[in-house]
Structure 1
Amino acid sequence: MEIAKGIYAVGGLNNKTAVFFNKTTDPVHSTFKAKITDSLIAGKWLPWGDNNLYPQEFANKLKKTGVAVGGLEVLTAAHFGTGFRLYQGTETEEAIIFRERLVESFPDIAAFYYRTKFDIVLTEIITDYETFRVSFPEYLLSPNGNEIISVRRIKAADCRFEAPDNSGIINNIGVNTDWENYEDKNTTVIPCFGANIPIEEIKAFCKEKGIRKFTIPVIDTLLVEKSYPSVGWHASFKNGWVDVVLSIPAFKKAMFEQQLNIKYLIHISDEYFSHVYGQDWNLFTPEERQEKRTQLVDLIHENLQGNQAGGKSIISPFFIDRISGKEIKGIQIDEVPQAQSNGDFLLDSSAANYEILTAMGVDPCLITGGAFGGKTLSGSGSDKREAWTILCAKLPIKQIRTLQIFENIKIWNGWDLTVFGKFPNINLTTLDKNKNGQETVVN
């Protein structure tokens, strides 16, 4: 039954799904038909990863990988820039002039912005998007469905796509905070629409079916994947480079714990004790002799360790061996070389860190002043400035997806169409060009 132009209801009266046969199809999900197999979770949810726990397992590994944590922070910070800002375009005979506007200039937008803490919601969605290249904003509607009154982030790791219908379209997502111990009663079903479906059509369908909340996933274009995007920079987690980074600290720790951690090796000749104690030495019992040796070692140890040992001298007599005539040192102290200070495996760690950041598209100079492993790399101000500029130049192709959230709300609520959102960024410059060393750039 056609309920609006290009929208057809399927199933019974309680079926809150839609199949879109209009010319604007969902490029993300309508290009495949998944087979209903035993691999589905509870027979209806598409697993994310072989065991359906890919995001959870990835996040656990990520938080142990310092360089990836730092790189991800750079990506999210660059994407968000200085925060969500409103701009308005005015067309003249010569050109289109864009100027920044205060949110307060538009009462309806300002009320929504402050009520929903829109900036914070966007930071959360951007974090999910930069981590998994998919995020799930949930739009909440007014009782009559005429307005979007709020938007919030559903944690991406908790979401799973429903198996496609016979037309190859995904109609819902399931939200569950514990997929490892799945229970149907703990799974919330939320209607899901494709990003390229016109907002007016979604609005008409939601009114007809009484839908008051839904999601339009912010998702990367799929290449050969069928449902969840394959994130490019996750390659270093799959090909072993991250394992290299994580194994080196564990190896170093084990080496520190298991090796003999001895600073000095002390040699003491029995001639020394014969000289000090004279004929009494021959009268001491073996136990008394050992006690005297221990007392001497403790005395030397106390005088060698700590700051108080600085500049001190130890006097040790020389003796002449009665048989060979050679000199014998009464006390000899040798320093034991410390093997853990040789920098083993740091070059391997450096190569692994570089591979991780290369996949992320983050220049190492943005998170460190020099190269990993102690070798000096270029970390000058100009290197950082150019690296940041290049990174920001790549952002529009990603920002256009997260900014679509504002566009969806704007169209649904009938706000001024000449107003649009942007994430301006700070472009570092030199003091001769700007006294504060920075300027705002809008991509």
Structure 2
Amino acid sequence: MNIIFPDSNSALLPGAQAVVSMETPGARPTQGIVLDNETVGTQEIVPWGAANNFPQEILKKGRKSTIIPTALKWQANMIARKVIPFMVDFDDDGKEKLSYVRDPEINNFLTSRHFKRYQKESANDIFWFLNIFPEVILSKNRQKITHLLPNDASYCRIGTQNKQGVSEFLYHNANWPNAAYNSEQTDKIRMIDPYEFDLVGWVREQHTKDFKFIYPSSYPTPGNAFYQLAHWDGIRSSGWLDVLEKVPVLKKSLLDNQMTIKYHIQIPNSYWETRFLDLWKKASPDEREAMKKDVVREINRRLVGAENAGIAMATEFGISEIDGKTIEGWKIDVLPDKLKDGAYLADNMEATAHLLYALGLDPTLVGFASKEMGSRSGGSDKRESLLIYYEQLQPYKDVLFEPLDFVAEFNGWKKKYPGLEFRTHQSLLTTLDTGADAKKVPA
């Protein structure tokens, strides 16, 4: 077969009627250049939100919720588990075969306190923002990555793109939006382009003066080129989160301002003269008021208190000597307790259900049960919901492990152990009739 080279990047195979394109070392896929209309007084960074404070506002709003921080922590804990290295192969039936990798260098890396902090902090950022910006630290000879360190995503801002559509730097400052890209407190760190074909060579050879890099990893969402938008953000933009915020405020106001009156006692005007006789006639207005208060105080003492529960109370009424009719007597009415009616309960339940939907959590997993919403919280419901949830976790694990996969490639671990993958133990709940506890499987 004759092979013709029309240019240095392709080969023409006439017999096969095909053209084979060969990538030039260092080439990368074309990225669109995004022109952001929002600026914060500089063209050096891409603002995260109109005022460059979107993550700070999300954290402030989310922390007011009794559900969001705990739910996101619960999800982060599902992927921030002990990481185990395996060589993965498949048999003829496509069934997975795992071989545990006993390598001191790999296991020392995975069990280091630095990597454990990376796991916990980055897992939380994934579920809060769908973005993580960890640092990879190179050895002095630039042949190994020695550390993978976390950065708080809310402190990170991506630099603007160059002519090739690549953001070359990340700017780290804990004081956004009240910070400048060129201030002494802002750390400017070269950022790895994950779309680069020869990524190991690019890091090792192209930037020989840099010993730390940012490896950005994210769960892609449509229309967001720089900062992703968490899937649960719809609960905020739709207004349901505002409903949840207002319910406790309204309940507190109701408790603070509602008069806690249990009884309404109606006493005829004629009672006082009958009760106090000449004392009433001779008393001044202030003295009469004091006499009334003494009577009401005594009545109140008899009506309230645990020791008075179930007591009998007697009042008198007379018969008119003129017409023989009953003279108006006392009347005691028990007032209904509005707080027992569950004011705003239905609104709270509905808003909570919407929040759990937005978070992607089956209500049964967090103990939410409501006959009105058709949800239960039994053992079988939890077990099946957890299995379904496990199936949804892998893409988020991929975000967490993508920088680790680059470490494995850079350090030569993947070459040394073909099919090297990183897994975590996943607990599978069992039913009581099996006679077994929850079992763990690599996932």
- TM-score, normalised on structure 1? 0.85
Farther-moved stretch of structure 1 (278-287 vs 86-95): 86-95
Contact kept in structure 2, 1:36 and 1:163, CA below 8 Å: no
**Partners in 1 of 2:24 and 2:153 — Cα distance?**
28
Calculate the aligned-residue CA RMSD, in Å.
2.7
Paired amino acid for 1:205? E
The one-letter amino acid of 2:430's match is: T
- Asked whether the equivalents of residues 38 and 50 of structure 2 are also in contact (C-alpha less than 8 Å), the reply is no
Question: Could you tell me which of 384, 387, 392 is aligned with 1:389?
Answer: 387
Shift of 1:223: 2.0
- Asked whether 1:431 is paired with 2:429, we answer no
Q: 1:164 aligns with which of 161, 166, 175?
A: 161
Name which of 131, 138, 143 aligns with 1:141.
138
CA displacement, residues 412-432 of structure 1 (integer Å, 9 cap, x when unaligned): 222343443112211212022
Q: Distance in 2 between matches of 1:266 and 1:202?
A: 87
Following the alignment from structure 2 to structure 1, what is the Cα–Cα distance between the partners of residues 280 and 381?
Answer: 72
- 1:258 matched to 2:261? The reply is no
Give CA deviations for 1:190-215 in whole Å, capped at 9, x if unaligned.
Answer: 11112343442233236x43111011
1:249 aligned residue: 248
* Number of positions where the alignment pairs a residue of Structure 1 with one of Structure 2: 415
SS for the counterpart of 2:291 is: helix
AA paired with 2:379?
G
What residue ranges of structure 2 are gaps of 5+ in the alignment? 1-8, 10-22
- Give the match for residue 50 of structure 2: 50
For 1:144, the aligned partner's letter is N
Distance in 2 between residues matched to 1:259 and 1:96, nearest whole Å: 65
CA distance in 2, matches of 1:363, 1:323: 75
The 5 A counterparts of 1:315-330 are 315-321=314-320, 325-328=324-327, 330=329
| 8 A contact 1:74–1:362 mirrored in 2 | no
Q: Which has the higher contact order (CA 8 A, sep 6+)?
A: 1
Q: Name the SS of the counterpart of 1:109 in structure 2.
A: helix
Matched letter for residue 209 of structure 2: G
Q: In structure 2, the residue corresponding to 1:440 is in which secondary structure?
A: strand
Instruction: Specify the alignment match of 2:151 in structure 1.
Output: 154
SS at match of 1:394: helix
1:119 aligns with 2:116: yes
Q: Name the CA distance, whole Å, in 1 between partners of 2:27 and 2:351.
A: 44
Deviates more, 1:376-385 or 1:275-284: 275-284
Matches within 5 A, 1:288-299: 288-299=287-298
Deviates more, 1:140-149 or 1:110-119: 110-119
Q: Residue 414 of structure 1 corresponds to which residue in structure 2?
A: 412
Matched, 1:109 2:112: no
**What letter matches 2:360 in structure 1?**
G
Q: Which residue of 2 aligns with 1:69?
A: 69
2:126 matched residue in structure 1: 129
**In the alignment, structure 1 residue 218 sits paired with structure 2 residue 234:** no
Out of 170, 175, 180, the residue aligned to residue 172 of structure 2 is 175
CA contact (8 A) 1:316 1:329 kept: no
Distance 2:375 2:431 in 1: 21
Contact 1:317-1:329 at 8 Å conserved across structures: no
The answer (yes or no) to whether the contact 2:135–2:215 under 8 Å persists in 1 is yes
Matches of 2:331 and 2:27, distance apart in 1: 87
Query: Does 2:397 align with 1:399?
Result: yes
Question: Matched residue of 1:314: which SS?
Answer: coil
Look up the SS of the partner of 1:260 in the other structure.
coil
Q: Distance in 2 between matches of 1:376 and 1:280?
A: 67
Change (3 A) 1:160 1:434: farther
Change (3 A) 1:258 1:323: farther
Is 2:303 the counterpart of 1:304? yes
Q: CA deviation at 1:168?
A: 0.9
Equivalent residue for 2:19? none
Identity %: 24
Q: 1:151 to 1:328 in 2, by over 3 A?
A: farther
